[in-house]
C-alpha cells in the first residue's frame, strides 16, 4: 500500500469503528509472531521437526504422551521468553472503548492477549498455560512453569494433558457458541493476523458479514478473508493497530 492508500484506509476503518456499537476481533498467529512466538508449522508441514499427527492429535497422545508433553513444554518455554507487542496493547485500548460490547476471539494459545490486559477473550483453541485432568476433568492454570513429561493433577493425581484443541477434536461448545454470538451481533469485525483458512474459526468472518457488520482486515498481505473485507490494512499488526487506535481518539 502507498502512504496515501494507507491513510485513506485507516480513516475509513476508524470512521466505521467510531460509529459501531459492538466490536469483535478474530486474531491469529500473525499477532503472536510479532512477539517472537513461532508459528511452528514449517514449509515441510512439520512442527519443530515433528509430524502434526504425533504431537497435536489424540492418536499421537495415545502413542507417546511424553513426546507430546516435551513438545508443549518447549512451546511453553518459548512463550515465557516473549512479551505482548504493540498490537496486543492496541487491542486492549480498543476494548476499553467498548468495554462489555467488545469480544476478542483468538486462535492463539499463548495467552499473550490476556497478559497484555484484554479481558473479554475467548481462547477457542485452548491455552498453553492450562492443563486438563483426564480423571477428574479439572482445568488448571499452571502458568508457564516447567511440567515435565508426565505431570499429575494437583487435585486427584490423575494424568494431565495440555488443555489444547488438537486436530480431530471439537471446540469447547460454550466458548464456540459465545464466539459465534459475538460475530453475529457485532457491527464491526476486525480480522487480525490470521489467514482465515482454519475452520471453524474462519466461519466467523462470513457470519459477521452476512449480518451486515463491517469487516476490517489487518494482515501482512491479502488473505482468504480479503474477499469479505470492507477495508484492508496491510502491514504488521503491531504497526497498523496502534495507528488505528490513534484515529479513534
Adjacent-strand bridge partners of 103: 24
How many structural domains are present in the chain? 2
Question: Domain of 70?
Answer: 52-81+131-164
pTM of the full predicted structure?
0.95
125 is catalytic: yes
- The mean pLDDT value for 15-37 works out to 96
> Could you tell me what percent of the chain has a pLDDT over 70?
96
The domain that holds 77 is classified in CATH as 3.30.1600.10
Burial of 197 (0-12, 13-18, 19+ CB in 10 A): exposed
- The mean pLDDT value for 127-149 works out to 96
In a domain? residue 69 = yes
Domain boundary among 164, 185, 216: 164
Cell 480498543 belongs to: 94
- The mean pLDDT value for 91-108 works out to 97
> What residues contact residue 216 under an 8 Å CB cut-off, 6+ apart?
13, 16, 17, 188, 189, 190, 191, 229, 230, 231, 232, 233
159 and 76, same structural domain? yes
Q: Which of 113, 125, 163, 199 is catalytic?
A: 125
Report yes or no: 104 and 120 within 8 Å, Cβ to Cβ.
yes
> What residues contact residue 124 under an 8 Å CB cut-off, 6+ apart?
105, 106, 107, 165, 171, 172, 175, 176, 179, 201
- The mean pLDDT value for 220-228 works out to 93
Amino acid at each position: 500500500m502507498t502512504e496515501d492508500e494507507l491513510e485513506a484506509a485507516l480513516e475509513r476503518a476508524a470512521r466505521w469503528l467510531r460509529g459501531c456499537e459492538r466490536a469483535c476481533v478474530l486474531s491469529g498467529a500473525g499477532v503472536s509472531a510479532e512477539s517472537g512466538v513461532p508459528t511452528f508449522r514449517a514449509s515441510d508441514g512439520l512442527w519443530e521437526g515433528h509430524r502434526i499427527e504425533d504431537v497435536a492429535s489424540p492418536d499421537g497422545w495415545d502413542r507417546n504422551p511424553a513426546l507430546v508433553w516435551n513438545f508443549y513444554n518447549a512451546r511453553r518455554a518459548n512463550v515465557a521468553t516473549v512479551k505482548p507487542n504493540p498490537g496486543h496493547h492496541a487491542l486492549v485500548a480498543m476494548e476499553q472503548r467498548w468495554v462489555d460490547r467488545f469480544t476478542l476471539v483468538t486462535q492463539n494459545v499463548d495467552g499473550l492477549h490476556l497478559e497484555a490486559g484484554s479481558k473479554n477473550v475467548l481462547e477457542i483453541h485452548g491455552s498453553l498455560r492450562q492443563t486438563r485432568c483426564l480423571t477428574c476433568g479439572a482445568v488448571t492454570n499452571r502458568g508457564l512453569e516447567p511440567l515435565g513429561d508426565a505431570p499429575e493433577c494437583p487435585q486427584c493425581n490423575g494424568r494431565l494433558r495440555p488443555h489444547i484443541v488438537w486436530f480431530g477434536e471439537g471446540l469447547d461448545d460454550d466458548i464456540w457458541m459465545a464466539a459465534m454470538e459475538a460475530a453475529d451481533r457485532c457491527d464491526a469485525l476486525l480480522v487480525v493476523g490470521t489467514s482465515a483458512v482454519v475452520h471453524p474459526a474462519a466461519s466467523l468472518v462470513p457470519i459477521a458479514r452476512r449480518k451486515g457488520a463491517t469487516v476490517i482486515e489487518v494482515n501482512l498481505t491479502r488473505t482468504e478473508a480479503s474477499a469479505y473485507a470492507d477495508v484492508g490494512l496491510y502491514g504488521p499488526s503491531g504497526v497498523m493497530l496502534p495507528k488505528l487506535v490513534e484515529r479513534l481518539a
